[in-house]
A and B are shown apart, each in its own frame.
Chain A
Amino acid sequence: MKHLEFRLQPEAVRPILDSVQPLLMSLEDNLATEAVPPEEDEMLVDFWKTDLLNAQRKDVAAIVEVFSDDFLDTGRATLRQENVDHFLRGCSALRLKIRESILSDLDDLDLEKGEVDFDALDLDQKNGYAAYALFASLIELVVYQYEFGAETEMGEGDGEFEDVDEDELDFGDEDDSKDDFWK
């Protein structure tokens, strides 16, 4: 089976993942964006949003799968090829939710330029910001592999997504205090 694999430090990433756990749960029941339907008809709006929400649930599940038991044991996060789209959409949904909640006090421009004063943030905001950055990095890596790595490799052979080398990301060293969502 073809897949992408990242190597991260589970002890560093765990508190970041724990900080976004409530948001992932929230995304099971709430759309990450307003998602304006094409019509105002109540039934159509309901149908439209329910469909989007069902799709979003699969996207969230892809994130949970990547950061599974295996990741917590080994530090290797594995993304199956068939889950790439779900994972990317899930990361986007999660970042939108982090921005709307944990990081709501921060300025758009500061966030965009990465000019946030990290020391001035409280612990929740620090974890939220770390998660925001972590999932941005993962999106960048996956998009790059998807757009360029895969294209190059697919041209040479079997038309399948190739395994890629591990990318190491270090997101600090913080204590682990919560449990279980990722197991």
Chain B
Amino acid sequence: MVAYGVSESVVTETDTESSSQLDDLWNVVVLNDPVNLMSYVTMVFKRVLGMNQQKAEKHMLEVHEQGRSIVWSGEREKAETYLYQLQEWQLNAVLEKHEAS
């Protein structure tokens, strides 16, 4: 499942946040698994996260090739909702505290 590097949209959104806001950011990370099909994972990203086809495929390939992809960053409550939905679709997803670079 992906490999174009870190999601540009996430970086763009967080660049302008203050440090206190950044402290409250969480990443929803999808980890690779050897079972789920690429077409299925792409569809799930579109369905759950509202990605378009191109962005969904990019993240899918990132997962497949790099072993993980940050598919969404933002406030904790919404991150938990996405985490639950991705796990409901049987993807290997985890929540991580956003590390400001």
Contact = CB atoms under 8 A, between A and B. Distances in A.
A112 interface: yes
B88 interface: yes
A108 B34 contact: yes
Contacts of B34: 99, 108, 111-112
A112 B94 CA distance: 24
Interface in B47-79: 76, 79
Contacts of B79: 38
Interface string A101-123: 00000001001100000000000
Given A88-B40, A147-B43, A38 B83 contact: yes
Contacts, number: 60
A147 B46 CA distance: 10
B38 to A, nearest CB: 10
Contacts of A43: none
A177 interface: no
Chain A, interface size: which category?
A: 20 to 34
Contacts of A92: 35-36, 40, 89-90
Chain B, interface size: which category?
A: 20 to 34
B37 interface: yes
Interface of A: 32-36, 38, 48, 51-52, 55-56, 88-89, 92-93, 95-96, 99, 108, 111-112, 136, 139-140, 143-144, 146-147
B37 A140 contact: yes
23 contacts: A32-B90, A33-B33, A33-B92, A35-B87, A38-B76, A38-B79, A52-B88, A88-B89, A89-B89, A92-B35, A95-B36, A96-B33, A99-B34, A112-B34, A136-B37, A139-B39, A139-B40, A140-B39, A143-B37, A143-B40, A144-B39, A146-B43, A147-B46
A136 B94 CA distance: 24
Interface of B: 33-37, 39-40, 43, 46, 76, 79-80, 83-84, 87-90, 92-95
A139 B76 CA distance: 32
B98 to A, nearest CB: 14
Nearest to B77: A38
A103 B7 CA distance: 35
A52 B84 contact: yes
Contact of A36 (B37, B76, B88, B94): B94
Given A52-B87, A139-B37, 13 more contacts: A35-B87, A36-B93, A36-B94, A36-B95, A38-B83, A52-B88, A92-B35, A92-B36, A99-B34, A143-B40, A143-B43, A146-B43, A147-B43
